[in-house]
Structure 1
Amino acid sequence: MVLSSPLAAGARTPPPIPAARWSAAGPPVRPLLLWVRTGAARIRLDGGQVLPLKAGEGAWIPADGRTEREVTTEPGTVAFPLWPQASLGAWGPAEPTRFDVPGGWQDWLIQLFNLQVTPFSGLGYAPETIAELLRRPGSRPSAPIGARRDARPEGRVGARREASPEDLLGARRHPGTEDLGAPAMPRAPGARTVAEELMRDPALDLTVEQWAARVLSSARTLRRDFLADTGLTFEQWRLLCRLGAAMEFLAAGYDVDQVAARVGFASRNGLTRAFKGRFGLTPHEFRRELSARPRAGGLTQRAAAARHTDDLIRMMRRTDTPAAPELLPAASTPSHTNDIHVLSWIYRGSGYLDIGDRRYERERGVATWIPAGTEHVTGLRQNSVSLPLGNASTGDLRLSEPLQVRFSPAWDDYLMFCSISARSGLRPDDHDPRHVLDLFAEQVAAQRALSVPMPTDPRARAVAMECLRRIGEPGGTHDVDVPAEIHRAFRDETGMTLGRWRYAARMRVARELLAGGAPPSAVARRTGYAHLPTFSAAFSRFHGLSPRDYQRRESERSR
């Protein structure tokens, strides 16, 4: 269901963007790249060093063991915190560095943030191309990676050593090249969070105990959840993840030493042993063979992001000014199901949401609630950018099919701020995750208010739109400020006086907010009534029942 209208898109104006703050908890494992799109920000480091940033500037903060990184932003600021792969720290500046971000790079940085916090993956070599390569004459079939309880390394009691790739892969081999893609994702929340982090950055070299502390779990629970949900131990799952990323980077042209560092191997020899043990050929042989085969769509998102981040680092070092990426590649998520409702917004270009055999188109400015418990695929077309705006539990929002609403470009900065607050630690002190529910409900209500008869006279229609924009202000647009011919146009074209039309529009908005679960006191404020009794009386006169009775009736109908 799409609620869209060029006029409706401007029916409400965005709220002001408040100040925000973020402080690191514990020693950082990744570099920080902060880019300020609008406004101003400050980064304070250990020792009192402060880096002020204004719009269009970025800062690189290496992961050098500092335990304190505090970012603060002024009101009206949109600043994107980005965490490049841990392995890139070796190539980035060794000291905090401030640099200018050329305009052509800005949308790419916004999409990079999206890729950090969502399960998108890009198009690249087709799986069948990889499979064909690995079935070539003379190659050895891939080794199984299974949850083998007898694969734990032997040693003295109580001693533990790092399992080798051979330990993790197992000694047996079997024919076929199935399961060459990403390993299955665990379902348990803590294990899934760890898996998503490793998919984004396979070089993160934390122990199970350290990962468990980050997701507020125990090492035993984390290990159990990986094994129960994927059939793989944590170490086996991580190895598959790293080898899948290694294929992408090799296909993108990186040499074996670079790939080993980027995916978390201590040396090229370790990568070579694991890669050959899994796929039956060395990384060098894989890259050489693959280079002679046609691509299925360019670099994967991970490989493209790595290439562009390399360019950014060169720019930070001021060795040159690389050209901005000409095209943002298309991307899509694997088919998956969320246990919460997810709100996703198209900032640039277009995309789609596939549920079963039905496709929901997503255009510029459209925000879509994706229902919980529904298997789906979300996609972005070339040169398109999306951002997640927030989540809602099934208790907070009743939703059985996608619900879409359109925001005008005037909302861009505010919606980006919402996305950053929802998916990073940079947020206002009084941040309320439920705010996105109210934001969406208000926009839906404002757009549905256009279902009341609209005048066609241009001047009268402009007054109607102004009434809708100011619907939350006590009094709205006063009749005394409106010329007589506008009043006449309202009577002739809508069958209502302007005052009666404004009343009907307010009641339309009130109905939508009440049906969405907003308390009557909040609905009163949002429709311009200073006191709840005044609103209740007005609502009851218009509908013949009180706001609470109306809300109760709508709730029963939706069951």
Structure 2
Amino acid sequence: MSSLRSFDLTAIPAWPTRATLDGNAPVLLWVVAGSASAALDSGHWRLASGEALWIPAGRRAQVRGASDSCVLPIRVRSADRAAGPTAPTRVTVPARSRDALLAAFMRSLGVLRGGGVRATAILAWIGHGCPVAQPPALPRSPELRRVAEELLEDPSRSPAEIGASHGMGGSVLARRFRAETGWTPVRWRARHVLARAAERILVDGSVAAGVAGTAYGSPQAFARAFRREWGATPGDLLRDHPTPAPVDRRVAVLGPQCNGYHVVVWVASGTARLEIDGAEEPLRASDIACLPAGSTVALRADAGSAVMPIGWLPGGCELGRGVVSRVGPEAHETLIRLAAWEYAGVGPLGAGEARAALQTALGVDDPVSLDPETTRAAYEVLARLARAPEDGRSSEALAAQARVAPAALRRAVEQLTGTTLSTWRARARMSWARRMLREGEPPTRVARRVGYADGAAFTRAFTRAHGRSPKRFQEAELRSLPEGGRGAA
């Protein structure tokens, strides 16, 4: 679809990097190349090339990468925040798992159907075996602790019935329980029951012993519940050796969607198919492709393939459509470093913006001749709106913060992106909305998080952009998930 450009690897700084990891879910900090260190409250870790550090949920880490290092944090889905080792754990990443982990990084960004990566998949790929089945924490407040105790004492009683006996309605109980434990009462009780069953299985060496202590009607029902919560079968607990790294046989799907900026992706391994306004183009390993702004695009990575986003460029740039460059193996670490800079916050010290580096690497000029200060201000505004879709400030307020005239800001955005500021912001909001709906967020919550105080206004805007309501979009997306369910890695 477009002539190929060279990719200047020297435009991507190889300086020391830094990042702060502070999430509510586990993170696998993978040193693809070079060396890095991670300072946690529990100690200081030094990691060499090919090593990774499992960081449990709730742990803050200050990460430093040496010059020429390539450090990639992969975030596990929030639903698995209690999975895996409870202490930082160093592992060596098997060579066979490299492509799977690269694909998992893109899933961890939440842009694909199902968004998120299962802890059990990450642990299997790094050779750690079955994750530890641990019960969730008790509620903090005395009132909810009493409810929790009754939930465990009598599994035959529903949470609604127990909550009512304490003067709490079902919705109030669920909201407060989630706020204090991270789980609904039903899931909280299920994980406690199954964690105790896992202990019995390990002590007695028998799956039947675990089933006997629960209210599940059959071993099959118990196994299904166990796999749903822990991502492994009860029999996996009795294996003497770590689970072998599975090959990811499902496809990864992005879109169809329309953005106000170019998205640049790299096929690290395998093959993929890119569709632009109904025209399909095959992608192969080593391709760098552009998902052009203002077009309806869809990307489907074939089974076992790893496709990574490496950045975005203003929609007004003349970049082309489809494959725009091809690179050799010598570019792999550089492109991973660029992806981590743009999407995971692992940036080189004092190096400026990832967007500018990508633009230079591809030899793409700004679309027009603008005052450098106004151009800088416009890019800052666009980056801020891309990170914070809930920002509903007027162009005047945004211009005041950027210290440029409102008319100058609006003109610069139109010339840099090829569209108006309001249209660019609407497209960025819709991109976030699609991501959160695919993750299973309720449409009412999505509306608030992308800046719509009125749920009806969000529904109208989303329907106008996608031809169907947020609810119908979400239902269709979740129905289309591969076997294994939402959030599968």
TM-score (norm 2): 0.50
CA radius of gyration, larger in: 1
Identify, as 1 or 2, the structure richer in strand. 2
By relative contact order (CA 8 Å, sep 6+), the higher-ranking structure is 2
